[in-house]
Amino acid sequence: MTSTRPYLIRALYEWIEDNGLTPHLLVDTEAPGVIVPKQHIRDGQIVLNINPSAVRDLRLGNDWIEFSARFGGVARAIQIPVSAVLAIYARENGQGMAFGEETGGDEPPPDKSDQPDQPDKPVRPSRRPTLKIVK
């Protein structure tokens, strides 16, 4: 059975965004496959702002979370196995969800370099859909 973690991350991301708050991820940087700026790691963890105004090309996939962001003015590509996400929450009020250990396999997702390039489906459109009355 597939993990519920990526689905919960996407749902909570959308809920936080819909409420006008700032989504943050808490990531275990010691998990295999995590690519983040080393100078921002504290006690084996990093907190990442994944607000659309702070990142570009955010992809919340079933195996990987990927985006680019600026750290100290320098653009960096970030890759995080979904299994390394410890929590997703709103910065303003701390509401969200922390994840415990999942049963069944501690292996990270397969290396992306072994997979052919396939465009990922966007998680949600960058702008909110609107309804228009047609007469």
Alpha-carbon span 93 to 96, nearest angstrom: 9
Residue 38 falls inside a structural domain: yes
Kindly report the pTM of this predicted structure: 0.74
Which domain CATH number covers 80? 2.30.30.220
Total domains present in the chain? 1
Confirm if 111 and 67 have CB atoms less than 8 A apart: no
pLDDT category at 132 given cuts 50, 70, 90 is low
pLDDT per position as a tens digit, 111-123 = 555 544 544 444 4
Residue 14 falls inside a structural domain: yes
Confirm if 63 and 82 have CB atoms less than 8 A apart: yes
Residue 133 falls inside a structural domain: no
Residue 121 falls inside a structural domain: no
